[in-house]
Amino acid sequence: MIRRSFLAALAFAAALPVAAWAEAPLKVVATTGMIADAARQIGGDQVEVKGLMGPGVDPHAYRQTRSDIVAMTRADLILWHGLYLEAQMENFFHDLGRKRPVVAVAEGVDKSKLRAHDDYADKYDPHVWMSPAVWRDVVVEVQKALTDARPEAADAFAANTQAFLAEIDQLEAYGKQVLAEVPENNRVLVTAHDAFGYFGEEYGYEVLGIQGISTQSEAGLNRIGELVDTLVDQQLTAVFVESSVSDRSMRALIEGAAAKGHDVGIGGELYSDAMGEPGTYEGTYIGMLDHNISVIAGALGADVPERGMNGKLSAGS
Ligand SMILES: [Zn+2]
């Protein structure tokens, strides 16, 4: 009788799917493509990452869909940016954080590295991915969150993080090199909204957005008039459109300059708040910034490698 129940207990233990449970990838949901990419680079085959915001999606305006909510209720870990980037989802994430493991990864950046927000005295500019040096801190936060969720994979996560940080260092150095080749009086970046503040600070560029730090603020006619004057006065000939923001106000700027007899063209399309298509080089963090750096430097007068830092950019970008 005793022997029989012992065997039954053994059979029961053997039937428990212990091995399968340990090997199932950690289900991670991330808001922006940039965070999803960091989770994939660090997590490798230990994670299954779902990014909520695809190419061309504006995080300032994004609201969770029904299928996003389903994915988040099934996730082992939810990563969002914070710093008021996902402004329409703040309350949602604060509520969700009481029930699920939810981490705002950009909130971990050392405050001394953050730029002030133009519109809110108590907030920071959220666009930290634009500076490889600042994004490093976010990558380390993602590593911590994944390690907390799956401590047994800590060594693999640490090794993958080191490899990813080395690529980010290479990207930073490439940016410093090619952006410094732009003539000094041309180091002005005119874009649809103020997403490039950290970029400007890191690489020594003046950055002028038609809209403020959020795309939700109004692009006033006054602002367009001011920027037209700047383009004419400083003899700037290139402005940049963004993949996640309408180019309507950018066209108004070009027309305004033309009316004053000054020719301005589109220097290229930049990935400001969303990455490129999944499965492409531009659909990774490194590719997104390589694209931006190469397009900006090239349009403003530097001699850049045709296909960017790694020879991987799509032709014609
Ligand atoms: Zn933005």
pLDDT tens-digit readout, 183-226: 999 999 999 999 999 999 999 999 999 988 888 776 677 889 99
H-helix or E-strand containing 77? strand 77-80
User: Starting from the edge strand earliest in sequence, which strands make up the sheet with 77-80, in order?
Assistant: 47-51, 26-30, 77-80, 102-104
Would the pLDDT of 20 be above 50?
no
pLDDT at residue 15, rounded to an integer: 53
Q: Which two tokens stand for residue 212?
A: 């403020």
| pLDDT tens column, 97-129 | 999 999 999 999 999 999 998 888 889 999 999
| pLDDT tens column, 126-184 | 999 999 999 999 999 999 999 999 999 999 999 999 999 999 999 999 999 999 999 99
Q: How far is the CA of 86 from the centre of ligand 1 (A)?
A: 10
Would the pLDDT of 285 be above 80?
yes
79: closest CA among 170, 148, 179, 178? 148
pLDDT at residue 76, rounded to an integer: 97
Q: How far is the CA of 75 from the centre of ligand 1 (A)?
A: 26
What b/e string do you get for 198-214 counting C-beta neighbours within 10 Å, with b at 16 or more?
A: bbbbbbebebbbbbbbb
Q: How far is the CA of 16 from the centre of ligand 1 (A)?
A: 48
Q: How far is the CA of 60 from the centre of ligand 1 (A)?
A: 6
Q: How far is the CA of 78 from the centre of ligand 1 (A)?
A: 21
Q: How far is the CA of 297 from the centre of ligand 1 (A)?
A: 21
For β-strands 77-80 and 102-104, DSSP reports them as: parallel
| pLDDT tens column, 63-81 | 999 999 999 999 999 999 9
Tokens 């020594």, residue?
Answer: 204
Q: How confident is the model at residue 245 (pLDDT cuts 50, 70, 90)?
A: confident
124: closest CA among 66, 197, 192? 197
Q: How far is the CA of 77 from the centre of ligand 1 (A)?
A: 24
Would the pLDDT of 1 be above 50?
no
Q: Give the C-alpha separation, 309 to 267, whole Å.
A: 19
Ranges 19-28, 61-70, 263-272, 307-316: which has the least confidence: 19-28
